Structure 1
Amino acid sequence: MDINEMFLNACKNGQKGVIQAFLKKGGIDFDKRDKYGNTSLMYVCLKGYKDITKLILDNGANTNLANNESITPLHAVSENGNKEIAEMLLGSGADINATDKNGEIPLMYAITEKRTTMVKFLVEKGADISIKDNQEHKAIDYATANGLRDIIAILISDITETNITGDTPLYQACYNEQSEVVKELLKNENVPINSINDEGNTPLVIACIRENTLIANILLEANADPNIALLDGNTALHFASSWNNKYIAESLLKYNANINAQNENGQTALIIAAQKGYNDVVKLLLEKTLML
């Protein structure tokens, strides 16, 4: 085993005294990697050895050397939430927007692990919240997918952006049935509440399809348009009827859903409910029709 391998092992094991002795002797190749592509700096960052990290950085270790997965030390500390080491790395030239093999930046690692403090720190330090990974997902998509209200609030400036299928963060929150996230997003006056994705769906329509009465009501109270039709002519009320959801249908009608709207087959919500034998919905729609 040569001196560089011994140094790497000492870093893996957190042997500060041994590391200091090697550094004093000199001649250490900080770029030495093991079979996983990890350097000595990567290991001390992974294990949270703050003092050793500082020693290695002070001796000129490269902060941006990635392993076989294209993961850098900053990715590692963002994932484990070690803000102190992250600050050291950035102070020594770490690329805050370095991407791994999946196109993910350290900020995305922090979000996935729900490291709110780290997320705030990285954003304050200049992490680019507009960067997309290889699947066209951005930082706010990660936050929305995990229902992270506090993190969404940090990333809220990206609220109008869409992913590869045209879904906004609000749409994703509705799809994932995250009512608290929906509320958080709706606090922003610029939220595109009636945006239509590539499939022609709005957030309200997806709430109806998923039969989430709470989210449907939240959207309606925030002035979502109940009369936007899909490409096939179906509206939110058609879906509420199709799924036999009397409560969502009532809410839609309360907010002026067009009870006579027809889809491309000439069907109204009443016809759909009648064909499926959904008597409660039929009764509701008939009563509302007679009141017109």
Structure 2
Amino acid sequence: MLARYGNIALLKKLVEKGIKPTSDALLFVAQGSRRESNTLETYKYLVEEVKIKATAQNKAGQNVLHFLAGKPNQAEIIKYFLGKGVDVNKADKEGNTPVMVAAAARETAVLEFFLPSVKNINAQNLKGESALTFAVRNGTPEAVNLLLTKGADVNVKDKDGNNLGVYLVQSYRPAGREKVATDPFDAKAKLLQDKGLNLAAPQKDGNTLYHLAITKNDVSLLKKITDLKVDINAKNKDGLTALHRAAMTSKDDAILKYLVSAGAKKDISTEFDETAYALAKENELLTKNNVSVEFLK
């Protein structure tokens, strides 16, 4: 536990008592605590004095960069480990690389350090996710742009056949109190479209971005998808339109009313000859909340 939090004084006392930290200590220090990061001095002590290999890996196949890449203000420490030969391309047992971790970070400094050493910008993990996938889902528009300019494949698909549109929807966060010049969702969408990704195209299972956005229960997101010219009446492989899905899962009428106002057809039936009205009448959440669905007739 002492090694986990990187208290260099305590580490030195352990060594003085003949208790030499194992290679795992370096990775524990890199992992750190939730509130604090450790100093370059601590890492240098473990590598240069205790003689732990800078390239040490844990049982999951992760090296020190897997832990440092997603943390803020680690530039100096990361440069140190790059100089010690730690591999930014090292895939752990899940196929995740430090580059992928950096792509999902809230700043792009580490990703910029890594890019000159990247061997395959389009490497994918076991789920079929690339660094660009990570950037679209959790990173910044700047990270998305950096990867695209370096040749990241905008048409990458995961093992389930989903394109980056799925991860774009996952990335959506409601607007906070602070106003931003450009919404991250909009910025990412434009970058992807400019590189040729068709965000209006359905996924392998037939779901459109409308279908995927229903679970967010946010009209603002649906408005953004309307701007992307997605077919609001498309059916997925289960024979459901976005309106059908909303009728089955909504807690109130906001999403339903928006979809109708945006052009969702109320008379389309499922494979079981059910309309959105019929599905909404069976929705216990709507019934419990005394929501009238007569507007769906």
Q: Same fold (TM over 0.5)?
A: yes
Q: Per-residue CA shift, 1:77-130, capped at 9, x if unaligned? A: 435553234345445644320123333212233345534211232224436442
8 Å CA contact 1:144–1:152 kept in 2: the answer is yes
Question: Does the residue aligned with 1:101 lie in a helix, a strand or coil?
Answer: coil
Determine the C-alpha separation between the residues in 2 that align with 1:125 and 1:201: 37
> Which 5+ residue runs of structure 1 have no aligned equivalent?
1-8, 14-32, 287-292
8 Å CA contact 2:201–2:230 kept in 1: the answer is no
Question: Does the residue aligned with 1:187 lie in a helix, a strand or coil?
Answer: helix
Out of 141, 157, 161, the position equivalent to 1:162 is 157
Determine the C-alpha separation between the residues in 2 that align with 1:87 and 1:118: 9
Q: Which residue number corresponds to residue 69 of structure 2?
A: 78
Residue 282 (structure 1) aligned with residue 294 (structure 2):
yes
Determine the C-alpha separation between the residues in 2 that align with 1:84 and 1:251: 50
Question: Does the residue aligned with 2:99 lie in a helix, a strand or coil?
Answer: helix
Determine the C-alpha separation between the residues in 1 that align with 2:171 and 2:156: 18
Determine the C-alpha separation between the residues in 2 that align with 1:222 and 1:160: 17
Q: For residues 192 and 181 of structure 1, do their structure 2 counterparts lie closer, same or farther at Cα, with a shift above 3 Å needed? A: farther
Q: Which residue number corresponds to residue 186 of structure 1?
A: 189
What percent of counterpart residues are identical?
20
Question: Does the residue aligned with 2:156 lie in a helix, a strand or coil?
Answer: coil
Q: Which residue number corresponds to residue 132 of structure 1?
A: 124
Out of 15, 22, 28, the position equivalent to 1:35 is 22
User: Which has the larger share of helix?
Assistant: 1
Q: Which residue number corresponds to residue 208 of structure 2?
A: 202
Out of 223, 226, 230, the position equivalent to 1:224 is 230
Residue 233 (structure 1) aligned with residue 234 (structure 2):
no
Residue 108 (structure 1) aligned with residue 100 (structure 2):
yes
Deviation at 1:163, TM superposition (A): 2.0
Larger Rg: 1
Determine the C-alpha separation between the residues in 2 that align with 1:230 and 1:39: 49
> Which 5+ residue runs of structure 2 have no aligned equivalent?
1-7, 13-19, 31-37, 175-182
Q: Which residue number corresponds to residue 66 of structure 1?
A: 57
Q: For residues 210 and 114 of structure 1, do their structure 2 counterparts lie closer, same or farther at Cα, with a shift above 3 Å needed? A: closer
8 Å CA contact 1:185–1:191 kept in 2: the answer is no
Question: Does the residue aligned with 1:143 lie in a helix, a strand or coil?
Answer: helix
Determine the C-alpha separation between the residues in 2 that align with 1:67 and 1:264: 51
Residue 215 (structure 1) aligned with residue 218 (structure 2):
no
Question: Does the residue aligned with 1:99 lie in a helix, a strand or coil?
Answer: coil
Q: For residues 246 and 124 of structure 1, do their structure 2 counterparts lie closer, same or farther at Cα, with a shift above 3 Å needed? A: farther
* Equivalence map 1:18-29=2 (5 Å): none
8 Å CA contact 2:123–2:131 kept in 1: the answer is yes
Deviation at 1:34, TM superposition (A): 4.8
Deviation at 1:248, TM superposition (A): 3.0
User: Given the two structures, how large is their TM-score scaled by the length of structure 1?
Assistant: 0.67
Please tell me the root mean square deviation across aligned C-alpha atoms, in Å: 4.1
8 Å CA contact 2:105–2:140 kept in 1: the answer is no
The code of the aligned residue for 2:293 comes to: V
Determine the C-alpha separation between the residues in 2 that align with 1:244 and 1:62: 55
Determine the C-alpha separation between the residues in 2 that align with 1:138 and 1:200: 22
Determine the C-alpha separation between the residues in 1 that align with 2:142 and 2:130: 16
